[in-house]
Amino acid sequence: MLDRGCGLIVGVTTPEGEPQAERAWAIRVVDEASKRIRCTMSADDERVVAGLRPGRTIAVTGADVRTLAAVQVKGPITWSGPADETDLALMAHQSDLFLEAIHEVDRNPVEQLRRMLPIEVISVEFDVVEAFDQSAGPEAGARVTSA
Amino acid sequence: MSDARPTLRDLDRCFGGAIPMVMATTSADGTPNVTYLSRAHKVDDERIAISNQFMSKTSRNLAANPRASVLLMDPITHDEYRISLVYERTERRGHVFERLRTDIDVLASLTGMQDVFRLRAADIFRVVDIRVLPPNPAGTYLPPPPPRDPVGDLAAMAEISARIARAGDVDVIVDVALDALDQLLGYSHSILLLVDEEGRTLYSIGARGFASDSVGAEVALGEGLVGMAAARCSPMRAGHLGQMTKYSNSMRSGYEGSVHAVREVSLPVLNGAQSRLAVPAVTAGELVGVLVVDSVDPVAFGPSDEHLLSIVASQLAAAIEHERALERDDGPTRPSSPAPPRSQGSPLSGPVGPELVFRFFPVDGSVFLGHDYVIKGVAGRILWSLLRHHASDGRVDFTNKELRLDPTLEMPGFKDNLESRLILLKRRLDEHGAPVRIEKTGRGRFRLHVAGALRLETNDV
């Protein structure tokens, strides 16, 4: 899915218990055994950043731009901090794939779509403990066995 | 974008369904959930309604924590907004529910899901905060297009009314209206469909701006966006068809096995069409047809287009019904243009030229020229009747009145659309460059031109 152009959306909960929706721009598995995932996302809103402290839970949904087939993973945040060079390079690559896929399907000019890209970014690591099929349809939200 | 906090009024374009919205909620234990939304609508300046079909987890979360966060994007400027919401109530009937239901039905109709995928409820939220997300300066800003010029549109409407009023028969009315939509209002891709005698099917009688065949395509009432506009007598509008079809296809795959195959609809297709608007043509409380416009622009049509085209469609309906009524009353009491003398030596007349093999299938009234399909139904039976008369005695001049009395046409006795069927037949033959043509010679009169020697075969299977 990531190689075809994938939209990444994030849900976090602030310390005040308020949900916040955000976009992520890069994602990768950093440890297969613990199902630890690292994603790089916008840090442009301080309320979102406040919800990314270690110990809090994060939800990330990845959706195939062409089919809207989607999977949501959830788990506790183990670390959050500045994005490194690997994160930024991956973000450049995966965001290009995402924007080009949108352009191919919906004809939106990529140069206009770049307005979506964040100005400040933050990276987050979390361990996947739950995964759900999030594709639109009657089975949306069904638990999947392997993330 | 000014520094002032945006309001819901600034976000109108975001609710068109062009770019999927994102919604986050939180469970009682603080676990977030994030998902794409199918549709949302602005209820008033402080509230929005969100369609609830599959969002069981979201519904459970809202019961525990009524707060939600939604990302919306303007499909033209690509400005993105985050709005904070508080859940208020759920509606399962009423105006707001019906607006959302229509949107969902349009979405479902794109892949034939309208009988399966239905709106369960509309969740109403109060908006407590709207923030514009800082746009990345690396992206290009495209300003929104200027709104339509109401004074110019009014003048165009007056001119279209005048042109339709001057048109003397249905054939001319159709051409005048479609040409005027292009020339005066900028709708360069349009189709007019009329309702058949049984009120079950629409058939296209004319079109502008399409490369493919445009006349004679059929759509069942209730089928797809066009059929739904007819069935509900209500305008149906869809933009970003690529995005919407993608979403609809995704839903469809979830219903694998419970969806019946959709009959292929052969309406002309605009290459790369991203927007479609279908408005019913109604007069005296009766549906006459549907006017359809297409565009490659993903956000081409809005409420003002619905209003403009609804006016044109109503005028078209009234003019067509008026002509039909005159034609049905018809007969010798009405003045009509005298038929010109029977043409002699016309290049399209007489049993000379190549052999023309026409085949007729009584089961559905379809007529083939050689192996090429020509037309079916009432119009097919009319063609077959004319060809039989011509083959037996060389007749070329006919009247609508005698056709009405021909039992082989299976015309409904109480109300027929014979004139429209004849126009459909004439246009279909013209469009195909057929060696058989129909020429109108006066009100209720027409002439058959045949450029060859007829051989007629009936297939009873």
- Scanning B144-284, the segments in alpha helix (DSSP H) are 150-166, 170-185, 224-232, 241-254
Examine residue A138 and state whether it is found in any structural domain, yes or no. no
Interface of A with B in 42-61 (CB under 8 A): 42, 44-45, 51, 56-61
Taking contacts as CB-CB distances below 8 angstroms, the residues of chain B near A131 are none
Q: What is the pLDDT of residue B344?
A: 41
The minimum CA-CA distance between B416 and chain A, rounded to whole Å, is 44
Cα angle A21-A24-A25, degrees, rounded to a multiple of 5: 155
Interface contact B82-A21, CB threshold 8 A: yes
B272 touches chain A (CB under 8 A): yes
Residue of chain A whose alpha carbon sits nearest to that of B58: A141
Most confidently predicted of A11-15, B134-138, B236-240, B400-404 = A11-15
pLDDT at B87 > cutoff 70:
yes
Interface contact B253-A137, CB threshold 8 A: yes
B207/B94 Cα distance (integer angstroms): 37
Residue with the bigger pLDDT between B344 and A35: it is A35
A40 touches chain B (CB under 8 A): no
Interface contact A116-B73, CB threshold 8 A: yes
Radius of gyration in angstroms for the set of CA atoms belonging to chain A, rounded to a whole number: 15
pLDDT at B336 > cutoff 50:
no
pLDDT tens digit string along B260-281? 433 333 566 677 788 899 999 9
The minimum CA-CA distance between B75 and chain A, rounded to whole Å, is 9
List average pLDDT for each run of 10 residues in chain A, which is 147 residues long.
87 97 97 96 96 97 90 97 97 96 86 95 97 79 72
Please state the ipTM of this predicted complex.
Answer: 0.95
Examine residue A141 and state whether it is found in any structural domain, yes or no. no
Closest listed residue to residue B202, CA positions, set B229, B176, B178, B179: B229
Residue with the bigger pLDDT between A83 and B3: it is A83
Q: What is the pLDDT of residue B167?
A: 93
B96/B41 Cα distance (integer angstroms): 8
Residue of chain B whose alpha carbon sits nearest to that of A109: B140
> What average pLDDT score do residues B168-173 get?
90
**Domain that residue A108 falls in:** 7-133
Q: Is residue B381 exposed (0-12), middle (13-18) or buried (19+ Cβ within 10 Å)?
A: buried
B82 touches chain A (CB under 8 A): yes
Tokens 């904070």 sit on residue: B84
Examine residue A87 and state whether it is found in any structural domain, yes or no. yes
Interface of B with A in 290-329 (CB under 8 A): 298
The beta-carbon neighbor of A11 closest among B24, B254, B255 is: B24
Interface contact A107-B36, CB threshold 8 A: no
Confidence of residue B345 (pLDDT cuts 50, 70, 90): very low
The minimum CA-CA distance between A2 and chain B, rounded to whole Å, is 18
- For the domain that residue A32 is a member of, what is the CATH number? 2.30.110.10
Examine residue A18 and state whether it is found in any structural domain, yes or no. yes
Taking contacts as CB-CB distances below 8 angstroms, the residues of chain B near A59 are 24, 31-34
Examine residue A76 and state whether it is found in any structural domain, yes or no. yes
pLDDT tens digit string along B279-321? 999 999 999 999 999 998 878 898 899 999 999 999 999 999 9
Examine residue A26 and state whether it is found in any structural domain, yes or no. yes
Closest listed residue to residue B423, CA positions, set B164, B167, B171, B168: B171
- Choose the weakest-confidence range: A117-131, B351-365, B434-448: B351-365
Q: What is the pLDDT of residue B312?
A: 97
B301, B295 Cβ separation under 8 angstroms: yes
Looking at the structure of chain A, the number of domains it has is 1
Residue B59 host element (H or E): helix B56-64
Give the pTM. 0.74
The beta-carbon neighbor of A117 closest among B34, B73, B136 is: B136
State the helix-helix crossing angle for B170-185 and B150-166, rounded to 10 degrees: 160
Interface contact B67-A70, CB threshold 8 A: no
CA end-to-end span of chain A: 13
Closest listed residue to residue A68, CA positions, set A132, A134, A130: A134
pLDDT tens digit string along B178-196? 999 999 999 999 999 999 9
Examine residue A114 and state whether it is found in any structural domain, yes or no. yes
Examine residue A124 and state whether it is found in any structural domain, yes or no. yes
Interface contact A61-B139, CB threshold 8 A: no
Q: What is the pLDDT of residue B54?
A: 65
Backbone phi and psi for residue B196, each to the nearest 5 degrees, phi listed first: -75, 175
